[in-house]
Amino acid sequence: MLTSGSDRGEGRRIALTAVGAALAAGCALAAGVLASLGDGRYAVPVASGVLDEPGTRSGVVVALLLLLVPVLGFLGQCARIGAVHRDRRLAGLRLAGATPAQVRRIAALETGLACAVGSVVATVCAVVVLLRFGERPTAGAWVAVVVVAVAVPVLGAVAGGLALRRVVASPLGQVRRVTTRSGRGPARLFLVSLLATAAVALFAAVTSPPAPGRMVSAWKAPLEVAVALLTVGAGAVWLSGTVAAVVGRTLARRARSAATLIAAERLSDDPWAPARTHAAVLLVTVVGTGFVGVRQSMLELLHQEGRDAQDMAFYQAGLDLTAVAIAVALAITLSGLAVGTAESLSSRRRALAAQAAAGVPRAVLNRALLLETALPLAPALLLAGIGGLVIGVGYSVLTASVVPWAALLVPIGIYAACLLAAATALPLHHRSLAPGALRHG
């Protein structure tokens, strides 16, 4: 009933959530179907033979798992936008006698319904693609389809509930309390995921000791990378929030302009709000920078070895697929950053209008909005760019090829793209500064 009676803004939020769920389901379905093929060799009529061999197929599965990181961050941003825009409806439920836990469960199920729509669309498309292949899909492929189709809406509802676990609206809608985060949660998650990564690596080494000429099982490489990805993601969230907190506290004491002071105070008050989106930016930066370096070195090495046209087409197809995956991840990450910036403006609408009414120039508030993204991302992207460059340079040293200095342009380009994504919220910023926004609680 809440979903059907929502306004236009809620309709956009539900549509964005459904799109994010469809992307997550699509990546998970493709990864599950490819992983279900196991160690066998198949003639897959796409990607110039990249999906034929189990080794290269495992690499594609890993890339699809990497794509889930920005998609999940995007879904998290959509869930938080829903928490802001649903305050009045949630307050109405509280006035009718609902407890905070019941309200959060209702809002979580509302998110689950939107995720179910996206999951159904992605599943139907996946089934159509599977049936169009010449060979009959395996039983493992159908199991992967069913598991993903059910898991996406369930996990979406759980994520929606977790996003609202710190939000408590009063029955009359005058008070919306959001407890601040200390940063201990991301630190603990990082330590737990680090131990899990070590345990999975030890289990893989014990169950399948390395032997000359023996290939790694198709399921082990994606599993190890998935757990390692959880570790890196948790570490990136921790790093992003920590950098934002340090930058905010430092500039709050040394700011020499009004815009910098406003941005620093906002970062100091809640440095963990944009941490998940910024963490996805850091991961894309590391992967993108390392990929550009590896691509340049690999192509140079292949030309030096004089490979024939068939081999070059094979390697070029694999590199192109990787580039497409990174570009899609960057686009999703930038979308999540833009959505998160718009959500932060909606949650601070009355405060921004009060600042404008008190005489703070709009140009100062616009600069403060951009500095909220620019200040914490600059040092974090510098570290991420250095990490990606180390990967590219290390590969070039091992292959005795040219040093890929062109990879240095990747973090600069991503930084500029992040600022442009944050700037897309400026029209909403102008509407939030209108005097009429003072009426909203």
Structure tokens at 161: 């509930």
Kindly state whether residues 161 and 104 are assigned to the same domain.
yes
167 is a domain residue = yes
My answer on whether 129 and 243 are in the same domain is: no
The residue out of 137, 152, 179 marking a domain boundary is: 179
186 domain residue, yes or no? no
Write the DSSP string, 6-42.
Answer: --HHHHHHHHHHHHHHHHHHHHHHHHHHHHHTTT---
Same-domain status, 197 and 175: no
Lowest mean pLDDT: which of 71-80, 145-154, 174-183?
A: 174-183
Higher pLDDT, 112 or 273: 112
- Pairing type for strands 176-178 and 167-169 reads antiparallel
Assign residue 233 a region: left if phi > 0, alpha if psi is -120 to 50, beta otherwise?
alpha
The structure tokens listed for 309 are 């046209």
Q: Provide the pLDDT for residue 285.
A: 86
Judge if 163 and 258 occupy the same domain.
Answer: no
pLDDT tens readout for residues 378-409: 888 888 888 888 877 777 777 666 677 778 88
Comparison of pLDDT for 1 and 331, the residue scoring more: 331
pLDDT band at 420 (very low <50, low <70, confident <90, very high): very high
Q: Over range 218-246, report the average pLDDT.
A: 69
> How many domains are contained in the chain?
2
187 assigned to some structural domain: no
Residue where a domain terminates, one of 179, 205, 229: 179
On the question of pLDDT at 120 being above 90, the answer is yes
Q: Are residues 281 and 359 in the same domain?
A: yes
Pair (83, 224) in one structural domain: no
Question: Is the domain of 230 the same as that of 257?
Answer: yes
What sign has the CA pseudo-torsion 69, 72, 78, 79? negative
The reply to whether 150 and 219 lie within a common domain is: no
Domain assignment present for residue 207? The answer is yes
Residue 360 lies in a domain: yes
Do 392 and 434 have their domain in common? yes
pTM above 0.75, yes or no: no
| Helices within 37-138 (DSSP H only) | 54-85, 87-95, 100-132
203 and 103 in one domain? Answer: no
For residue 400, the model assigns a pLDDT of 61
Q: How far is the C-alpha of 122 from the C-alpha of 151, rounded, in Å?
A: 13
- Token look-up 């399921």 returns 219
The answer on 424 and 282 residing in a single domain is yes
From 135, 154, 179, the end of a domain falls on 179
Alpha carbon distance 295, 13 (integer Å): 38
Q: How many CA atoms within 13 Å lie on the side-chain side of 269?
A: 11
Do residue 231 and residue 265 come from a single domain? yes
Tokens of 293: 């370096």
* Residue 185 belongs to some domain of the structure: no
Residues spanned by the domain of 421 = 192-441
**8 is a domain residue:** yes
Average pLDDT, stretch 307-321? 75
Q: Give the model's pLDDT for residue 218.
A: 47
- The percentage of the chain sitting over the pLDDT mark of 90, rounded to a whole number, equals 4
Residues belonging to the chain: 441
HSE-up of residue 5 (Cα within 13 Å, Cβ side): 5
427 falls in which pLDDT band (50, 70, 90)? Answer: confident
Q: Give, in degrees to the nearest 5, the angle at Cα 51 between 317 and 394.
A: 60
8 A C-beta contact, residue 83 and residue 120: no
For residue 305, is it within any domain?
Answer: yes
